[in-house]
Chains A and B, each alone.
Chain A
Amino acid sequence: DGGITQSPKYLFRKEGQNVTLSCEQNLNHDAMYWYRQDPGQGLRLIYYSQIVNDFQKGDIAEGYSVSREKKESFPLTVTSAQKNPTAFYLCASGGGEPTDTQYFGPGTRLTVL
């Protein structure tokens, strides 16, 4: 089955710890994205990558880091510098063209205790 997987679905961490969220896709998409969703709000772009070994900051990149070493994978690290990390994190991939649909993973809910 083609799709996007995110793991884990739920993640709990203590304040001050870095945590890495996994995102894998087997859709052969060039572009991948990370979004943050807070309760009752829309999506905000954290980072995106149009090709392997290249990525750009989105609207709220502070306190986050990413890597794109493989086309299929785009992990997101939430660092201790992120002041309010508790949120629902969504990964997406797409062809990167203006008419292309973005396909989403099931999301990871991160709770920092």
Chain B
Amino acid sequence: GNSVTQMEGPVTLSEEAFLTINCTYTATGYPSLFWYVQYPGEGLQLLLKATKADDKGSNKGFEATYRKETTSFHLEKGSVQVSDSAVYFCAHMDSNYQLIWGAGTKLIIKP
């Protein structure tokens, strides 16, 4: 069935480090892919998305490329800041137009 697998957290990095959060999915066809971010005590915000293979989504220095050959959508950022500390969720849209969610990866950035 459809699923999304994210790397387990927490991921702890120092400020200005390079970030990768892995995400792979299982789905039929070529679903739209999303990264959402959740700051403590808040709802989720869309970070970026890609709607077809080889698309690259980008926002606030974060990037992710839709790789259909590896069914992956890894999130990257070249230089993280303390303000990037949050929980990051990967998701894909299934054939019923519902989002299938990963479990989330908590990111902690230390000054």
Binding site for B on A (CB under 8 A): 4, 6, 31, 40-45, 48, 50, 58, 90, 92, 96-99, 101-107
B17 CB within 8 Å of chain A: no
Q: Judge whether B103 and A97 touch: CB under 8 Å.
A: no
Across the two chains, which residue of chain A brings its CB closest to B46?
A: A101
A-B contact pairs, 15 of them (CB 8 A): A40-B103, A42-B102, A42-B104, A50-B97, A90-B43, A90-B44, A97-B97, A98-B32, A98-B51, A101-B46, A104-B36, A105-B43, A106-B42, A106-B43, A107-B41
Binding site for A on B (CB under 8 A): 31-32, 34, 36, 41-46, 49, 51, 89, 93, 97-99, 101-104
Also in contact, A99 and B51, with CB within 8 A (given A42-B102, A42-B103, A42-B104): yes
CB distance from B55 to the nearest CB of A (A): 10
- Complex Cα distance, B93 from A92, in Å, reads 14
B43 touches A45 (CB 8 A): no
Interface pair B44/A104, CB less than 8 Å apart? yes
Closest 9 CB pairs of A and B: A104-B43, A42-B101, A42-B103, A99-B51, A104-B44, A43-B101, A106-B43, A99-B32, A107-B43
Complex-state Cα separation, A45 to B32, whole angstroms? 18
Cβ of A48 and Cβ of B103 under 8 Å apart? no
Q: In whole angstroms, what is the CA distance A59 to B75 when docked?
A: 27
Q: Is the CB of A107 within 8 A of B42?
A: yes
Tell me the complex Cα distance, A70–B32, Å.
28
CB distance B45 to A104 under 8 Å? yes
Bound CA span A79–B51, Å? 38
Known: A45-B98, A48-B98, A98-B31. A103 touches B103 (CB 8 A): no
A94 CB, nearest partner CB in chain B, Å = 9
